[in-house]
Amino acid sequence: MIPFFSKFKFEDYTSYKITKGFMVAFLLSSFIYLEYFGLESRFINTIFILIAYYLLVTIDKKSLFFAGFFTGLLWFWWIGYSLIYYDLAYLIPFVVLFFGVAHGVFFWFTAIIDKALVRIVMLYLLTFFEPFGFNWFKLDLPLINTYFNTYESNTTEPNLKINIPSYNIPQDRKWDTRFVNEMIEINLKNIDNAIAKGDDVVILPETAFPFVLNNEKEILEILKEKSKNISIVTGTISQNKNQILNSTYFFENGTYQVANKVVLVPFGEAIPFPKFIANFINDTFFNGASDYSKASEPTTFTIKNVKFRNAICFEATTDEIYQNLDTHFVIASSNNAWFTPSTEPTLQKLLLRYYAKKYNLIIYHATNSSPNMVVR
């Protein structure tokens, strides 16, 4: 009996491997939740991430799969929320499960050649892996709030009074045509308040005007007139023949300029598959809606002689939007009502810090349904 039982080790039980994988995922994800609850600590984050990195290199492959599975859940459990607004809430569990299994496979694959040095290299390369163009998983992101982040910038803010009004409009209300006039009134009131304060620039969030603005000549004329008193940056939708674009309009001195989104949200604004598959998915799940079109290159606005790179939501957390950058200032706009309440705005904020550090930027972030901020 004794030799028989001696063949069994506690480590062989799947439940132990699941628990071990979860602990790694917890350590790897804690920086998001500490930030979310306002408990961020450089000391705790540093200790947790060092332990997490060590375990990622040393644990067995089965535990590594579960580490990836739970990491995918803890980072991206919110990602199916937007399906509620397409009457596809029943798909949310499958989307969440997909992100868990996918990250489990990614982690497991890093140990396909089970040598420590090879695994280190594979884990490092995983940071650059962007399946379907989705790049929000970065293994070096947890370092942003640790003692390893010693970067200091001497970039100072421009000499402009910048007003970023707060918005908290629920997603199901935002696109309801019954509330369009209310949305317009809110926007115009915020612009007037900024004018009354003597501000130089007012920045409204992504799709603050939730309709095709270039088809609404009356609203365009109102904004052009108000821009004689203040520079206005606002998110909206544009239409160019059969193309629909997610846009930012910049009004100044009675004229305006349009910047269209360059990097579309995979599966949110464009299906990253061949056209016949994309059409099938759009017809089946999204009532025949078409993908958004995109611009070929980023746009830089010059506001009162100061250059600002424009970025709309997801693209503010991509390298593409910062190509050929000729300024240290960025205006980013988001509509986080798609995913609130959740940790999505927190992860977005951490990613904006990541890119602000990488490119030595100051980012002015105007949002709906999450706090505005200036990322230095």
Instruction: List active site positions.
Output: 206, 261, 313
Write a three-state SS string for 51-112. HHHHHHHHCCHHHHHHHHHHHHHHHHCCCCHHHHHHCCHHHHHHHHHHHHHHHHHHHHHCCC
User: Which of these, 93, 102, 92, 46, lies nearest to 71 by C-alpha position?
Assistant: 102
Q: Is 278 exposed, middle or buried (0-12, 13-18, 19+ CB in 10 A)?
A: middle
CA dist 61 and 33 (Å) reads 26
SS3 for 255-323, per residue?
A: EEEEEECCCCCECCCECCCCHHHHHHHHHHHCCCCCCCECCCCCCEEEECCEEEEEEEHHHHHCCHHHC
CA–CA separation, 129 and 116 (whole Å): 20
| Residue 208 near residue 237, CB atoms below 8 Å | no
Angle, CA of 78, 79 and 83, to the nearest 5°: 105
